Structure formats: C-alpha cells, structure tokens
Amino acid sequence: MKLVATRNKGAKDILPADIHKWRTVEQVAADIAECYGFKEIRIPTFEKTELFVRSVGETTDVVQKEMFTVTGTESSFTLRPEGTAGVIRALLQNGLMNEAAPQKLFYFVNCFRHENVQKGRLWEFHQFGAEMAGSHSPAADAEVICFAGDILKGLGLQNISLHINSIGCPKCREEYYKVLREFLSPNREKLCGTCQSRFEKNPMRILDCKSDICKGIAEGAPLITDYLCDECREHFKRLCGILDEMGVEYVIDPKIVRGLDYYTKTVFEFISDDIGAQGTICGGGRYDGLIEEIGGAPTPALGFAMGLERVIMAMESQGVEFMPEPGCDIYIASMGENAQGQAMKLIRELREAGHRAQGDVMGRELRGQLKYADKIGAAYSAVIGDSELESGKVTLKNMKSGEKTELPLLPLADFVDKFTDISMADMFDED
C-alpha cells in the first residue's frame, strides 16, 4: 500500500510564508534580552525523566498525564515539557553559578506535552524563556516581570494584562493546606481522579485543575494570600512597591497558582483576551527550592516562559506589523548559453555585495523567467542576451513602476559597484 504521509494533529508545520513572523518574535525577544543582560543558552531536547518529575512535580498535570517519555534499557528519557528544568540542570552541571551572580539566561525551545489539542494548545509548541538565578531580592522579580512585559510591548501587543500573586513558601503552605483540605473535604469524592490523588499531597494543585467539576468545587476556596508568612508577605509587598514606582500596571490575582510545582512566592501571568480560551501568553515566577531539589546548593531563582504560538496568534489577531518577508532585490534573466554563464557570474557578484539576487535554473524561455521574477516579487529585473554582451550595456527595470535605467554591463565589477553605491533601500523609497 502506498504511504500517504500526514502530520500528527498535535504538531504544526511552520511554513515559509510564516517564517518572518517567527523571526520577528525571535529578534525582538533576543534584542530585549540583550538590553537586560540575559545570555542565550541552548540545551538538549530531552532529559532524564526523573529531572522533570523532581522539578515540575509529581502531582502536576504535566508529569501525571502529559509527558512524552521513552523508556530505554538503562534510563527513562522525556522530551522536555518546559525549559526551566533543563536550563537549571545545565547551569549546575556546567558550573555557571561559580561565575558572577545573578546568572541570567534566555532560550528558545520546542516543548512537548501530550494534552487535549485545541486552539492555543498543541503537543509540540515553542517557548521563549528566561531564568535568573542567585537573587532573593524582590528587585529581581520586578526585573524579570518587566523583561517579559517589554518583549510583549516591543512586539507591539496591546491589551495584555499582567496578573501577579504570591503562593508563599513551604512554611506558609503547611497552614494553608490544612484549611484548604477542610474546605474541599465535603466534596472530596466528587473531585476528578487526579485531584483526589492530589488531596493529601498537594491540595493547592486542585485549584489549577481544568475540569469544570473541580473548578466548581474550588469556587470560594480560601486564598493562599491570607496565609503568607511574614517573609513572603513582605517580599510581595516590596515587589508591588517596586512595580508601582516603575509605573508597571498589574492586577493582584490571588487565584493564580500556576501549573508547575516548583513555584514559591511570586507567580505571574500575562493574559490576552484576543486569542480565545487559552489566553495565558506568558507565565512565570520564583522557584527558590528548585536548584537545591535537583542537587545544587540552595539558590533562589526565578523565570518565565512565553508560548510563541500564542504570542503570534495575538499579534495576528491585533493586526500587529511583522518584519517584511524575505524578498528578491534583483532577478537577472538570460537568453542563450553565453549569456547564462555571464548572468550567473553577475548574480554571484551581486550576492557577494549583499544583494538578494536570483536567476534562471529551470532552463525557461525569457517570458517564463520574467513571469517567475514577478511571482517571487523581485524589485528589479535585467535581461542579458547576445546584444547586451555585445553592447556591454544592460537595462535595469523597476518591476513596480516599470521605470528603466541603462547600466554598463562590463566590466562586471563596475556594474556591481553601481549597485552597491545606490542602496536598494534608497531605490525602494523612490517609488
């Protein structure tokens, strides 16, 4: 039987027509990262399963239901469901914490989660993320939040609201878990299976369950913010104070608990109303216990991750401008074998001078070549045939306006020089 190759519904092809959108986001995020002094790190796509179980947390949806895991003879490996665990593993394994503190890293990663495919929710998706390790100070929280916010602003997004909360530390949670269990216990049997298993170990996770029944039961539950210890309360108050001084707008949202277990103290989300139910574009927070949990010296840290599919969806829905699609500055058509060789030489010289130049590799007739030049949106075209070779002149045509300019063809270097001192950008501006 003949194979008809199809892609899985949980993954997406990113086609050439959309690449400029991704490049826009990548460029803006990397530029702003540089302003903030974050350096890029690239890590492997998979890690030992244990790393994610320990860091993301045993009672999270990600670990309980969503991981793509390959079990080998010696070890079990998992395609990363998020970037933080791997980045922190790399930070420790490579001794980066011995360098200046804080360590500030950013990354672009593809992530894998086996969850219900819907708008804004895929099996393979992409994140831009950043992590800062080494600082306890609320100033670090403010800086990381502003970094994420500046990227969204830099991309031209509007109406994105910043929600912040503090989910305290293990000390605050002792008391909070008790009252939360008391609140939930009359309905314990009605909770979904996963949440029943979370009831003892991590009842706060129930507040992040996606099931409508669990959401209903959790309605009106006591809030962690009422149970913060002095240190956590003070930390949150100072963070709010700094954000106020910086003029950053935010909403305190005591309902944010985040989907990953490693968070402590500050958590935050950037939410858009323009992309449907999965409106959280970026999520992050502090994770002061994680580094120690995976074998490092106790080190406070925090970070965020932005879902790039959701960022691009929001940009599209708001009609934000992307950087232009890559184009063609000049197409050199040729007629006859002699001219073809000269055209290819000329095209190469133009490329060396930094121009986006193309010519015929299909063996097309002249008409077909010019039709192709039009299709690919070439800004200029020129035709080289025997008569041009003889006269040493070539006519450059502005494909949009039809305006023609005669230029010397030989020596070729002069021709190239002619181009390089008339910048293409200037030429575009004229029409």
Q: Which residues of the chain form contacts with ligand ATP (CB under 6 A)?
A: 82, 113, 115, 120-122, 125, 127, 258-260, 278, 280-283, 305, 307, 309-310
Pick 41 or 399: Cβ nearer ligand ATP: 41
Q: What are phi and psi of 253, to 5 degrees?
A: -125, 95
CA distance 416 to 424: 12
Residue pair 302/187 in contact (Cβ under 8 Å)? The answer is no
Pick 82 or 388: Cβ nearer ligand ATP: 82
Pick 310 or 397: Cβ nearer ligand ATP: 310
Q: Assess 203 for contact with Mg ion (CB under 5 A).
A: no
The region of 3-11, 217-225, 252-260, 358-366 touching Mg ion under the rule CB under 5 A is 252-260
CA distance 312 to 307: 9
Task: Produce one character per residue of 36-46: b if its CB has 16 or more CB atoms within 10 Å, e if not.
Answer: bebeebebeeb
Sheet strand arrangement including 46-48: 46-48, 76-79, 68-71
Task: Produce one character per residue of 259-290: b if its CB has 16 or more CB atoms within 10 Å, e if not.
Answer: bbbbbbbbbbbbbbebbeeebbbbbbbbbbbb
Minimum distance between the CB of residue 224 and ligand ATP, rounded to whole angstroms? 17
Residue listed under structure tokens 């200037």: 426
Minimum distance between the CB of residue 205 and Mg ion, rounded to whole angstroms? 12
In the complex, residue closest to ligand ATP by CB: 307
CA distance 355 to 344: 14
Q: Please choose which of ligand ATP, Mg ion, none residue 280 contacts, taking the beta carbon within 5 to 8 angstroms, the exact cut-off set by kind.
A: ligand ATP
Q: Assess 259 for contact with Mg ion (CB under 5 A).
A: yes
Minimum distance between the CB of residue 260 and ligand ATP, rounded to whole angstroms? 6
Q: Which stretches within 39-134 are classed as H helix?
A: 49-56, 61, 84-93
The region of 232-240, 256-264, 276-284, 381-389 touching Mg ion under the rule CB under 5 A is 256-264
Q: Please choose which of ligand ATP, Mg ion, none residue 57 contacts, taking the beta carbon within 5 to 8 angstroms, the exact cut-off set by kind.
A: none
For 156-172, give the DSSP string.
Answer: T--SEEEEEEE---HHH
Minimum distance between the CB of residue 116 and Mg ion, rounded to whole angstroms? 10
Residue pair 431/400 in contact (Cβ under 8 Å)? The answer is yes
Measured in residues, the chain has a length of 431
Going by C-alpha positions, the residue among 178, 175, 196 that lies closest to residue 187 is: 196
Pick 64 or 278: Cβ nearer ligand ATP: 278
Minimum distance between the CB of residue 208 and Mg ion, rounded to whole angstroms? 8
Pick 287 or 415: Cβ nearer ligand ATP: 287
Pick 12 or 171: Cβ nearer ligand ATP: 12
CA atoms within 13 A on the CB side of 367: 0
* 3-state SS class at 280: strand
Query: What six digits make up the tokens of 35?
Result: 């302003």
Pick 216 or 408: Cβ nearer ligand ATP: 216
Handedness of CA 199, 58, 176, 162 (dihedral sign): negative
Q: Assess 120 for contact with Mg ion (CB under 5 A).
A: no
Minimum distance between the CB of residue 162 and ligand ATP, rounded to whole angstroms? 13
Minimum distance between the CB of residue 54 and ligand ATP, rounded to whole angstroms? 16
Minimum distance between the CB of residue 290 and ligand ATP, rounded to whole angstroms? 14
Q: Please choose which of Mg ion, ligand ATP, none residue 127 contacts, taking the beta carbon within 5 to 8 angstroms, the exact cut-off set by kind.
A: ligand ATP
Pick 115 or 274: Cβ nearer ligand ATP: 115
- Residues of this chain that interact with Mg ion (CB under 5 A) are 259
